[in-house]
Amino acid sequence: MYEPQRLHPAAILEFLIGNIYKQFQSLLPLIILVFGQNEIRRWFLFALPVILLLYVLYIIVYWLRYLYYIQDDELHLEFGIFVKKKRFISFGRVQAVQVSSGIIQRIFGLVKLQVETAGGGDKAELVLPAISKKRAEELRYILESKRPIPAQKYQETEDQHTGEIFRLSTRDLFILSSTSNSIGVVLVGLFVIFSQLEEVFPNLNIWTIVGGYVNEIAGKTITTIILVVLVIFLLTWILSLLGNFIKFGGFELIRMDNNIKINRGLMEKKQLTIPIKKIQAVRVVENVLRQPFGMVSIQVVSISNAEEKGESSVLFPIIPHRQVEEFLEQVLPEFAVPLETKQLPIRSRIRYILINLIPAFLVTILAMFFLPYGWFTLLLWPLAVWLGFIQYRDAGFNIQNNKLLISSRALGKVTTIVPRQRIQSLAVSNTYFQIKRKLTTLHVAIASGSITASKKLVGMDKEESAMISRWYSDFGGYI
């Protein structure tokens, strides 16, 4: 551990596949152009084996020069062929150490270790893509505890399981997939793919073909149109279902001493460790589609660089709303409070309605001038009023057990729980219109990795805002 160490030889495959994939993405237009020319294609296919052989040799040399070791309370990394680079990460800068295992790692019984640091950006500052599980646990212990690993610590760690293990059932995975935003993401992804195909293969006239199919379907009976829409929805739902099963399959969560450990994933098995002391706030998110099922997701705001696609913020992807308080009592008692909030004064309701109604009004005016059936947009008016009303109804706050609760809604409702000592700063502001109604806007800043997360509540009573300001300033915070 304290002598320079190489990665497992399986790292050669990891480096090779990862780099070839990146090169293929960036050179795809050039490759298509090459294969479109017979003479160039012949030379390219002749040279391809030589290029691949040289590239494999390059990766092998890169692997031989990729070394890591611990020295003087720092994790050292040396890499590079033509230019040798050195990276030093002091233990004090380490924010989180994450362990995962993709297909290559699982074949060889290895794991990938990623080290996140303060100010390190959105990506891990150091990645060891192929090391043994034992060495990964030893490194994690040293980096998180800032001290050498005691004898037999790894074995003890493997055997220690205190507290209840929370798992995601197959039923909950179905609900998660059916009510997630990934269905929309799949549709957008398909649209992007078609757009790229149109640019790469302009002679195919893809949108002309699609338009022809749409016109043909539009001429059919209403039953046929409904059937086509249902088939498209079913296909996107299946893709969303597969994606969520791959991402959250085998989900397990357990509180172990001062850490929360999460295992999840089918294709890539991820093991996330969230130190309790790094958690700054808890968010209970009520997705619009999940509310009829009484389901919510629980997320955390922590001092850690964001994982890819924000995955590290998800504490438990889906859970019945009635079980949230019990779950927090067992997993995060430091943040456990009743989720009851005080409603905003009724004089702030008009603001929530107008903020939605005015854009709907403008859309209607433009649509009626430029679209043949623009008057249909009048239907947006009652929807805007209804959205403004439920946004007002669900907005609120409370102070319980030295914790601040703020609930608000854009489309989905989000309730944020922040202990007083985790608030970085608190501010109160008001506009000209708010002054006349004795209303204010509360701004709360929470530390989150290399950025500062914030939360605001619009339309608070002036006296209530002053009370929260006094509550926070008594603790010695910054107003």
pLDDT in tens, 291-301: 888 899 999 98
- Which amino acid does the sequence have at 422? R
Q: Which of 58-72, 110-124, 198-212, 281-295 has the lowest mean pLDDT?
A: 198-212
321, pLDDT greater than 80: yes
> Cβ distance 336 to 344 under 8 Å?
no
Closest by CA to 358, choosing from 379, 390, 376, 380, is 380
pLDDT digits (tens, 9 = 90+) for 338-350: 999 999 999 999 9
Residue 197 confidence (pLDDT): 54
pLDDT, position 304: 60
Above pLDDT 70, what percent of the chain?
Answer: 78
State yes or no: pLDDT of 337 exceeds 50.
Answer: yes
What mean pLDDT do residues 22-34 have? 69
Bridge partner residues of 97 (DSSP): 115
- Grade residue 157 by pLDDT with cuts at 50, 70 and 90: very low
Q: What is the mean pLDDT of residues 141-167?
A: 62
What distance in Å separates the CA atoms of residue 278 and residue 118, rounded to the nearest whole number?
A: 12
The band of 31, judged by pLDDT with boundaries at 50, 70 and 90, is: low
- Residue 399: the pLDDT is 93
Q: Is the pLDDT of residue 123 over 80?
A: no
Residue 306, pLDDT score: 42
Q: In the sheet where 342-343 sits, what is the strand order? A: 314-320, 295-302, 279-286, 413-419, 403-409, 396-400, 342-343
CB 417 within 8 A of CB 399: no
Task: Provide mean pLDDT across the span 319-338.
Answer: 91
- pLDDT confidence band for 124 (50 / 70 / 90): confident
Per-residue pLDDT at 152 exceeds 60: no
**Mean pLDDT of all residues in 433-457:** 82
What average pLDDT does range 397-417 have in this prediction?
92
Cβ atoms 461, 315 nearer than 8 A: no
Mean pLDDT, rounded, of the chain: 80
Minimum mean pLDDT among 165-174, 355-364, 444-453, 467-476: which range?
Answer: 444-453
pLDDT of residue 384: 94
Nearest-angstrom CA–CA distance, 53 and 31: 19
Mean pLDDT lowest for which of 30-39, 191-200, 455-464? 191-200
Angle between helices 222-248 and 182-200 (to 10 degrees): 100
* Separation CA 98–CA 140 (nearest Å): 8
Confidence (pLDDT) at 343: 93
In which band, very low, low, confident or very high, does the pLDDT at 146 lie, cut at 50, 70 and 90? Answer: low
| HSE-up (13 A, CA, CB side) for residue 340 | 3
For residues 436 and 163, which has the higher predicted lDDT (pLDDT)? 436
Residue 432, pLDDT score: 87
What radius of gyration, in Å, describes the C-alpha atoms of the chain? Answer: 27
The whole-model pTM stands at 0.73
In the chain, pLDDT over 90 holds for what percent of residues?
Answer: 27
Per residue in 246-282, pLDDT tens? 888 888 898 887 888 888 887 777 778 788 888 889 9
Query: Mind listing the pLDDT tens digit for each residue in 207-261?
Result: 566 666 655 655 556 666 677 677 777 777 777 778 778 888 888 898 887 888 8
Highest mean pLDDT: which range of 170-179, 183-192, 303-312, 439-448 = 439-448
- Reply yes or no on whether the pLDDT at 308 is more than 50: no
Residue (of 115, 126, 154, 110) closest to 8 by Cα position:
110
Higher-confidence position of 416 and 30: 416
Task: Quote the pLDDT of residue 428.
Answer: 92
Find the range with the poorest average confidence among 70-84, 373-387, 449-463: 449-463
